[in-house]
Structure 1
Amino acid sequence: MMSKYDDPAFFDKYAQMLRSKQGLTGALEWHELEKMLPDFKGKRVLDLGCGYGWHCHYAAEHGAKQVTGVDLSHKMIEEAKARNSSPVISYHVQNIAEVDFPENSFDIVISSLAFHYLPDFDSIVAKIKKFLVDGGDLVFSVENPIFSAYGTGDWYYNEKNEPLVWPVDNYFSEGLRHANFLNTDVDKYHKTWSTYINTLIKYGFTITKVSEPMPSEELAKDMPDMMRIPNMTIFSAKL
């Protein structure tokens, strides 16, 4: 399976995003996500869909003793090794849906905007439950179900090309969506709030916080219209 991010043209577009150029401070959710992260000191951390490795590096900087970053994209892993290397970080090219580690391998599992690329949320949570120690932390972000429901990732516009309404049709119909991301057709998978919450509960997680961050005023002024709604959700949970 090839990652869309290994397509040179698509990857070049991604490289121009603020989160790619500025790291964590360029990510619209970072001001809220940082507050939801647990204490990394002395912990073993797994980052599923690590991208450029910004979160891996943050964990290492904050005292993690071992950090493992996994991403399907060869180009992402190359960038992570170049930009965010550390003696305690190891990066691996692998489909996050296929990862396998021994029981109790990690104290913390994090994932940023990756799980909505997976058709099955249940199976990844089952894996995380196996990897994670009792009392371990899971923090992840996904596309907000309101954002992903219709699937196009854009507003309805009026004749003046002004945003008119955000479509939420087909909210309860989960599954494949063909979204427009960086002017490219990308396959994503819509899941409802109920699926995220009930699946975490099913596997014994206690949800400690849910956030729908909006970009800071500084970042919002340069954001396209599609980013001016809560387009992602962050969950923190404890096993």
Structure 2
Amino acid sequence: MKNIYDDEAFFKEYAKMERSQGLNKAGEWYQLKEIFPDVKDKNVLDLGCGYGWHCKEAVRRGAKSVLGIDMSMKMIQEAESRNADEKITYRNCGIEEYEYPMNAYDLVISNLALHYIEDLKSVYKNVYKTLKESGIFLFNIEHPSFTSGVYEEWIRDDQGKALYWPIDHYFYPGKRETVFLGKKVMKYHHTLTQILNGLLECGFEIEHVEEALPSEEARSLLWMQDEMRRPMMLMVKAKKRETVDKRL
């Protein structure tokens, strides 16, 4: 997985996707932007920044500084090309390898990257450490109903019509192989309990949970109607708990 986005053929196919053209082309953005916190004069870390769209959005909203990290050098190069700004620093670094300085950021955001992480709780602990008091962790991860799908694909009839979405081995978290953009891709399935309770166990307060669904406008498109039959993404907004009063 560490090299799939640096595969030339894979990356060219990724560049053709709607979401590669900007935030407004990403189906979940109309929901995610509503829970995007105030970042004016604040420091932001983007885990798995991709093309840097969320980094640039944070600057547009008044962020003081933004660091975007991604394990793919091609992604970082694309971010520097498309979304450069004097307030943004891009760095080729994996989510699990980053050093997470103490109390450094007001917001940590991650969009569609955490399902490539096996030990989700270790990331939660690092994010908690690097956030300032009352800092926000906002992330979008592939939904457990999606990652527990069999090869993340519909069961179809002879004409190709989607009959149903199969779920199997839901309560067995771990590595799942699927095919994405013509290539075998390794992801990790995490149950809903792991995703949400893991945050609570690491000291976060959950402020908002939302499952991605097509906008009303998108639902009118024939090819989008099956997206109402199962969730693909899960968006979570969590806050680092305030320090307990030391007098107590």
Normalised-by-shorter TM-score class: over 0.9
**Structure 2 CA distance for aligned equivalents of residues 145 and 102 of structure 1:** 30
The answer to whether the aligner puts 1:233 opposite 2:234 as a matched pair is yes
Letter in 1 for 2:238: A
Question: 5+ residue gaps in structure 2?
Answer: 241-248
1:117-157 superposed Cα distances (whole Å, 9 cap, x missing partner): 01110110011011001100000000000011134111001
Equivalence map 1:125-136=2 (5 Å): 125-136=124-135
Q: Is the 8 A contact 1:71 1:93 kept in 2?
A: yes
How far off its partner does 1:215 sit? Answer: 1.9
For the residue of structure 2 that corresponds to 1:139, the secondary structure is strand
Q: Is the 8 A contact 1:26 1:219 kept in 2?
A: no
How far off its partner does 1:184 sit? Answer: 1.6
**Structure 1 CA distance for aligned equivalents of residues 237 and 11 of structure 2:** 29
Q: Is the 8 A contact 1:153 1:181 kept in 2?
A: no
Q: Is the 8 A contact 2:66 2:87 kept in 1?
A: yes
For the residue of structure 2 that corresponds to 1:152, the secondary structure is helix
Equivalence map 1:210-229=2 (5 Å): 210-220=209-219, 221=221, 223=223, 227-228=227-228, 229=230
TM-score, normalised with respect to structure 2? 0.92
**Structure 2 CA distance for aligned equivalents of residues 167 and 223 of structure 1:** 19
The answer to whether the aligner puts 1:185 opposite 2:215 as a matched pair is no
Letter in 1 for 2:155: Y
Equivalence map 1:95-110=2 (5 Å): 95-110=94-109
Larger Rg: 2
- CA 1:227–1:39 in structure 2 vs 1: closer, same or farther (change >3 Å)? same
**Structure 2 CA distance for aligned equivalents of residues 210 and 120 of structure 1:** 21
**Structure 1 CA distance for aligned equivalents of residues 173 and 147 of structure 2:** 10
The answer to whether the aligner puts 1:5 opposite 2:5 as a matched pair is yes
How far off its partner does 1:34 sit? Answer: 0.2
TM-score, normalised with respect to structure 1? 0.95
Q: Is the 8 A contact 2:100 2:127 kept in 1?
A: no
The answer to whether the aligner puts 1:25 opposite 2:13 as a matched pair is no
The answer to whether the aligner puts 1:140 opposite 2:139 as a matched pair is yes
Question: 5+ residue gaps in structure 1?
Answer: none
Equivalent pairs: percent with the same residue?
43
RMSD across aligned positions (CA): 1.5
**Structure 2 CA distance for aligned equivalents of residues 224 and 183 of structure 1:** 21
Letter in 1 for 2:171: F
Q: What is the aligned length?
A: 238
**Structure 2 CA distance for aligned equivalents of residues 209 and 43 of structure 1:** 21
**Structure 2 CA distance for aligned equivalents of residues 58 and 123 of structure 1:** 27
Q: Is the 8 A contact 1:5 1:73 kept in 2?
A: yes
Q: Is the 8 A contact 1:151 1:178 kept in 2?
A: no
Letter in 2 for 1:4: I
**Structure 1 CA distance for aligned equivalents of residues 222 and 92 of structure 2:** 32
Letter in 1 for 2:179: N
The answer to whether the aligner puts 1:206 opposite 2:212 as a matched pair is no
For the residue of structure 1 that corresponds to 2:151, the secondary structure is coil
